[in-house]
Amino acid sequence: MKPTTHRAMLTIVLGMILVGLAGCGGGGGSPAEPGQSGTVTGLVVSLDTDSGDIEGLAGAEVSITTQAGTSDSEGYFSVVGVPAGHQLVTVTLPDSYVLLSSEPIYCDTVSGQTTELPEPIMALPEDMGVPDPPLL
C-alpha cells in the first residue's frame, strides 16, 4: 500500500477516535441504586496493513470493574454484570497490537439495560506504530 494511503486511513481513524472520546451513553434512564448492574457491548477493530481495511479484532479482553469479556472472531464483545454508574473501560489487546489512543474510555451503565459503546475501540499492529494526533 502506498504511504499516502496509510496516512489518509490513519487520519480517518484518528478522526473517529477523537469523536468517540466522549464515552458511551446509557441508553436512557438514570443509573440505578448500588448493587444493580447492566451489560456493556461494543466492537474492537484494527487496521489490516495489507488491505488497508478496518477489521474486527479477536481476542481483546475488555474489563469493566471486576467483570470482563473477550472479543469474538468479528471483534464484538459483551461484558455482563457491570455495576450501574460511570465506569472505566480497560482493554488488553492480543500480542503485537497497541491501542490507537491513550485516552481513557468511560461508560455510563444503566441497571437492567444494555449499553453499547458508541465508537469502536481502535487498535493498530504494533509494528505500524502510533501516529501523532493531528493538530486541531
Q: For the chain, what percentages of helix, strand and coil (3-state, to nearest 5) are there?
A: 15, 40, 45
Query: Does the residue 113 lie in any domain?
Result: yes
pLDDT per position as a tens digit, 9-33: 444 443 443 334 344 544 444 444 5
Q: Mean pLDDT score of the chain, rounded to an integer?
A: 80
Query: Does the residue 53 lie in any domain?
Result: yes
Query: Does the residue 47 lie in any domain?
Result: yes
Range of the domain at 20: 3-128
pLDDT computed for residue 136 by the predictor:
66
Query: Does the residue 135 lie in any domain?
Result: no
Query: Does the residue 29 lie in any domain?
Result: yes
**Domain count within the chain:** 1
Q: Which residues contact 38 (CB under 8 A, 6 or more apart)?
A: 82, 84, 109, 110, 111, 112, 113, 114, 115
pLDDT computed for residue 20 by the predictor:
42
Query: Does the residue 122 lie in any domain?
Result: yes
Contact 126, 48 (CB under 8 A): no
| Separation between Cα atoms, residue 94 and residue 120, nearest integer Å | 16
Query: Does the residue 49 lie in any domain?
Result: yes
Q: Give 16 or 51, the one with higher predicted confidence.
A: 51
Give the CA-trace dihedral at 94, 47, 70, 16, to 10 degrees: 130
The C-alpha cell that represents 136 in the structure block = 486541531
For the segment 31-58, the average pLDDT, to the nearest whole number, is 86
| CATH number for the domain harbouring residue 31 | 2.60.40.10
